[in-house]
Amino acid sequence: MTESRFKKLAVLAALLGAAACAAAAVEPELTGLIFWLPCGLVADVLWELAMTGEGWRIFAIVIYVLICLLPALGLLLIRRRRRPWREDWLLLVLSAALFLLLGRALDSRRDMYSVFAQMGLFSVLTAWLVLRLLRCIGASDDARLVKLSRIAVALLGLIYGFTAGWTLVSAAAGLFSDFQLSVLADGVSGCATAVILVLGCLRALRLVNTLGPAGELTDESVAEAGGFYRFSAKALAAIVLVNMCADLAKLLLIDLSSNSSVNVSLPILPLLFCLAALIVSRFMAAHKRLRDDNDLFV
């Protein structure tokens, strides 16, 4: 992915985040769709079928069993093609979780149990995705790792771009409805942090694009790694200072008579991202120097 294309996609992601936040502010029910689809929809449809009549109740039970068995059937299809990997057995866990959580949602008819089923579904799928990604990285050669790194950096930048747009509109909506200093401080710090991380992803993408076809380091890569290191150090300091100023502003200027809700945030994930960027850039420069020294020795 080129830098110009990444910039366009990042702006588009920010606009999409702003539009999504604005839509959620106008229609708060839209936010609930995240926790309602698909488990809540399935539970509602099956319940309506079961209440239609005795025959439809049996049909709803059959549909419920088939839906819960879909992950297990997927595992059977995988076994016909190859030997299942360890993470593939999580599909059985997913089937069992759907049986229990979706069944409880149907039995109790409480919306919260549908939310629990949705959260369980996302939890198992996330675990499967992470384990599968780790296997893919471990089995990849250098050229494929470069491609995966490029994709990961681009996706991370788009996520932070979406977050920046969402945070900006969320803070603006909170200010227009009822001015609160904590909302303004959180919005400014969150949006600034997301923008800094988008720029960091842009620099990381530029660094990955300088690598050779097989992932080998070049002189351009080392030069870009040095610039990436300096940017990461400044980004880390900027994120810490912005969040510190926001926290101090909330703690010093808050009026307890009108607002008793205040929180102090610590941006753990952005800090870890910047620290990882610092370590990677220093490692790349040191590796290139060591390889050049070995070439001179030979």
Residues of the chain below pLDDT 50: 257, 298
Which of 21, 15, 7, 8 lies closest to 167, judged by CA? 21
3-state SS assignment for residue 110: coil
Cβ neighbours for 152, distance < 8 A, ≥ 6 positions apart: none
Residue numbers of the domain that contains 69: 37-139
**Is 221 part of a structural domain of the chain?**
yes
State whether 61 and 146 are in the same domain. Answer: no
State whether 108 and 153 are in the same domain. Answer: no
DSSP-derived letter for residue 89 is G
**Is 32 part of a structural domain of the chain?**
no
205 burial via Cβ count (<10 Å: 0-12, 13-18, 19+)? buried
State whether 279 and 154 are in the same domain. Answer: yes
**Is 50 part of a structural domain of the chain?**
yes
| pTM recorded for the entire structure | 0.77
236-289, pLDDT tens digit by residue? Answer: 888 888 888 888 887 877 665 455 555 666 667 777 777 777 777 777 666 666
167-199, pLDDT tens digit by residue? Answer: 888 878 766 666 667 777 788 888 998 999 899
- Boundary residue ending a domain (85, 104, 139): 139
State whether 45 and 13 are in the same domain. Answer: no
* pLDDT, position 165: 92
216-228: string of b/e by CB count within 10 Å (b at 16+)?
ebeeebbebbeeb
- Boundary residue ending a domain (122, 139, 156): 139
- Boundary residue ending a domain (139, 173, 197): 139
State whether 151 and 276 are in the same domain. Answer: yes
Please spell the DSSP secondary structure of 21-58, one letter per residue: HHHHHH-THHHHHHHHTTHHHHHHHHHHHHTT-HHHHH
Q: Tokens in use for 136?
A: 């893919």
* pLDDT, position 236: 83
